[in-house]
């Protein structure tokens, strides 16, 4: 086992100088000699903190606008030299290499740079750190003897340990080394993703590098016996539940987060004011209208029993009228996500209903239409990656296949139903009327069962509604059930070997049917 040898020399080179002055001053007070470079050394000197110039020690000047300054054997030998290896120690003595026991380095702000509007490629390239990752990896590799600090949050514990014992423990060095390798891995991942984003290829990449940062510990997962945490993609600027600000209510649960994410993904698909009600990760209500409070009422009435204990999302600021609808008797809402909440609406939601103390209010900021992206689902031994199902409705490819044409007044409901069915678990059937969900059949092994459930949920509201199916009808029996329930139009992908039988069944009832040529399975 290595000894916990005294820390006598520290190399400090930091882009982020937060907390650096206090840390460096503390090291000086402990008798630690500081070596530094360029801007970092100048920062320390201006604060009256003595730091030896790395160029003075190596005898090699900083050059190429700072691209080359620490890449020198006298630096890396001092970090990588094994203190229990005779050959290493002889080499250090022969080449007059001083041992460096503490490396304090953070990296050029590459991700912050590429996140700026109109940043040029040259500007991005200049923020790719070379020396920093090399120093961090060297120190982390030799953590038996060297301590590596990569974040200001680590400074306090390191300094306390040095003040008390003159060094750090092996356990601390191991922990810091692991965090260091996480940092360099994440940094390289961000650079790799940047270069991949510049590619015009439509091919899925041969490798996907994901960087996730824990943003919250959750009380538990889907069930109390499962540990869980929330992780975020760093530097993500799109409105999301992960990046939203909680302005009221108790802690979000794992299931709340799943449901809110589903609700938000649906709400952002609509241009008109929209309300979405989610229960167990399926929409049980959704509506659009010219006024948000009308959409809210229609969405909640879509399946009022299932809506009890649901989560909601809106694509507009929640106003007082909408809040009043949400607080009507016999309603219970777990969480609400919206771009913003009027002050009066917050007052209503947090003082009026019985559930006022518990409801979570999540402010997402402006919600934009979805951008094409990939979805990743982990399975045992790997992951499935696909393009997101954001295919727009290409009306030019749709075809009315029945003798009866679709009435003009029904097209708005057909569009709404076709948008909604993509968000329901397969086998998926939705009934819509007046751009509101009135019946949903989700996640059944048989499409016939989904049709029956959707019709039963809708009850009398099925009369005059349109039906959307996420995939083709393999048999005409569901057509018969739809016609008997009073459904007035059907939209489905088509493509079954028995399409002719489904068309004949529709013609028997004078029921118009549209083929879209696109399927919307959601497993």
Q: Write out pLDDT tens, residues 235-258.
A: 666 788 998 999 999 999 999 999
Cβ proximity of 136 and 12 under 8 Å = no
C-alpha closest to that of 159 among 310, 73, 332, 30: 30
Tell me the per-residue pLDDT of 121-142, one tens digit each, with 9 for 90 and over: 888 888 787 888 899 999 999 9
Please tell me the distance from the alpha carbon of residue 341 to that of residue 362, in angstroms, as a whole number.
Answer: 9
Is 280 catalytic? The answer is yes
* Between 502 and 372, the higher pLDDT residue: 502
Q: What is the pLDDT of residue 422?
A: 92
* Between 189 and 439, the higher pLDDT residue: 439
Please tell me the distance from the alpha carbon of residue 415 to that of residue 294, in angstroms, as a whole number.
Answer: 19
Of the candidates 280, 352, 480, 522, the residue annotated as catalytic is 280
Q: What is the pLDDT of residue 359?
A: 95
Q: What is the pLDDT of residue 235?
A: 63
Q: At what angle do helices 20-29 and 38-46 cross, to 10 degrees?
A: 70
* Annotated domain spans of the chain: 9-198, 239-363, 398-515
Q: What pLDDT band is residue 267 in, cutting at 50, 70 and 90?
A: very high
Cβ proximity of 149 and 175 under 8 Å = no
C-alpha closest to that of 395 among 416, 415, 423: 415
Average pLDDT, the chain: 89
Q: What pLDDT band is residue 201 in, cutting at 50, 70 and 90?
A: low
- The token pair at 100 is 């460096």
- Which CATH number does the domain 398-515 belong to among 3.40.140.20, 3.30.2020.30, 3.60.40.10, 3.90.1170.20? 3.40.140.20
Q: What is the pLDDT of residue 66?
A: 65
Of the candidates 17, 72, 141, 522, the residue annotated as catalytic is 141
Using the predicted structure, report yes or no on whether residue 470 has a pLDDT greater than 60: yes
- Summarize the confidence of residues 515-521 as an average pLDDT: 89
Using the predicted structure, report yes or no on whether residue 458 has a pLDDT greater than 60: yes
Calculate what percentage of the chain has a pLDDT beyond 90: 58
Using the predicted structure, report yes or no on whether residue 233 has a pLDDT greater than 60: yes
- The token pair at 291 is 């006024």
Domain 239-363, second-level architecture:
3-Layer(aba) Sandwich (3.40)
- Summarize the confidence of residues 278-283 as an average pLDDT: 92
Is 520 catalytic? The answer is no
Tell me the per-residue pLDDT of 283-340, one tens digit each, with 9 for 90 and over: 999 999 999 999 999 999 999 999 999 999 999 999 999 999 999 999 999 999 999 9
Q: At what angle do helices 170-198 and 155-165 cross, to 10 degrees?
A: 160
Q: Do domains 9-198 and 239-363 have the same CATH topology?
A: no
- Summarize the confidence of residues 353-369 as an average pLDDT: 91
Please tell me the distance from the alpha carbon of residue 276 to that of residue 437, in angstroms, as a whole number.
Answer: 10
Tell me the per-residue pLDDT of 144-194, one tens digit each, with 9 for 90 and over: 999 999 999 999 999 999 999 999 999 999 999 999 998 888 888 888 877
How many alpha carbons fall within 13 Å on the CB side of residue 216? 16
Please tell me the distance from the alpha carbon of residue 200 to that of residue 116, in angstroms, as a whole number.
Answer: 21
Give the end-to-end CA distance of the chain in Å, rounded to a whole number.
52
Q: Regarding the domain delimited by 9-198, which CATH topology (the fold level of the hierarchy) does it fall under?
A: Rossmann fold (3.40.50)
Cβ proximity of 340 and 318 under 8 Å = yes
Bridge-partner residues for 36, per DSSP? 12, 53
Using the predicted structure, report yes or no on whether residue 1 has a pLDDT greater than 60: no
Q: For residue 330, what are the contacts with CB-CB under 8 A and spacing of at least 6?
A: 304, 308
* Between 133 and 276, the higher pLDDT residue: 276
Phi and psi torsions of 155, nearest 5°: -60, -45
Using the predicted structure, report yes or no on whether residue 474 has a pLDDT greater than 80: no
Tell me the per-residue pLDDT of 70-119, one tens digit each, with 9 for 90 and over: 778 888 899 998 888 888 888 888 888 889 999 999 888 777 777 777 88
């Amino acid at each position: 086992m290595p000894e916990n040898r005294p820390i006598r020399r520290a190399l400090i080179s930091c882009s982020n100088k937060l907390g650096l002055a206090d840390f460096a001053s503390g090291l000086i007070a402990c008798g630690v000699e500081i070596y530094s470079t360029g801007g970092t050394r100048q920062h320390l000197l201006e604060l009256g903190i003595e730091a030896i110039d790395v160029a003075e020690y190596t005898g090699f000047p900083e050059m190429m606008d700072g691209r080359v300054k620490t890449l020198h054997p006298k630096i890396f030998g001092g970090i990588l030299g094994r203190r229990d290896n005779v050959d290493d120690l002889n080499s250090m003595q022969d080449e007059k290499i001083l041992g460096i026991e503490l490396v304090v380095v953070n990296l050029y702000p590459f991700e912050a740079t590429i996140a700026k509007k109109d940043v040029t490629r040259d500007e991005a390239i200049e923020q790719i750190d070379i020396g920093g990752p090399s120093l961090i990896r060297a120190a982390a590799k030799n953590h038996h003897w060297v301590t590596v600090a990569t974040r200001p949050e680590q400074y306090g514990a390191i300094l306390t340990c040095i003040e008390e014992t003159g060094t750090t423990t092996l356990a601390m060095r191991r922990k810091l080394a692991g965090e260091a390798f996480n940092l360099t891995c994440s940094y390289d991942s961000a650079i790799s993703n940047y270069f991949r984003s510049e590619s015009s290829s439509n091919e899925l990449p041969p490798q996907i590098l994901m960087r996730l940062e824990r943003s919250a510990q959750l009380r538990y997962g889907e069930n109390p016996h499962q540990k869980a945490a929330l992780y975020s993609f760093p530097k993500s600027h799109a409105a999301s539940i992960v990046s939203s600000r909680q302005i009221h209510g108790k802690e979000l649960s794992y299931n709340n987060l799943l449901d809110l994410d589903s609700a938000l993904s649906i709400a952002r698909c609509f241009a008109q004011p929209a309300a979405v009600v989610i229960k167990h990760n399926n929409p049980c209500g959704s509506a659009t209208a010219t006024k948000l409070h009308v959409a809210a009422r229609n969405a909640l009435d879509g399946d009022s029993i299932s809506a009890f204990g649901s989560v909601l999302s809106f694509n507009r600021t929640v106003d007082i009228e909408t809040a009043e609808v949400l607080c009507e008797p016999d309603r219970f809402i777990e969480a609400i996500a919206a771009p913003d909440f009027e002050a009066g609406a917050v007052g209503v939601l947090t003082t009026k209903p019985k559930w006022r103390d518990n409801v979570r209010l999540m402010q997402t900021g402006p919600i934009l239409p979805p951008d094409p992206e990939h979805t990743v689902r982990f399975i045992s031994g790997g992951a499935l990656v696909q393009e997101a199902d954001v295919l727009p409705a290409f009306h030019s490819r749709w075809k009315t296949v029945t003798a009866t044409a679709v009435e003009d007044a029904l097209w708005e409901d057909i569009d709404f139903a076709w948008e909604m069915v993509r968000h329901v678990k397969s086998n998926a059937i939705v009934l819509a009327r007046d751009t509101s969900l009135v019946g949903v059949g989700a996640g059944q092994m048989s499409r016939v069962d989904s049709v029956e459930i959707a019709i039963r949920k809708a009850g009398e509201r099925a009369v005059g509604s349109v039906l959307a199916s996420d995939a083709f009808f393999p048999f005409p029996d569901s057509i018969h059930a739809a016609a008997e329930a009073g459904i007035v139009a059907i939209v489905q992908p088509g493509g079954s070997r028995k399409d002719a039988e489904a068309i004949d069944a529709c013609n028997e009832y004078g029921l118009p049917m549209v083929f879209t040529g696109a399927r919307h399975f959601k497993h």
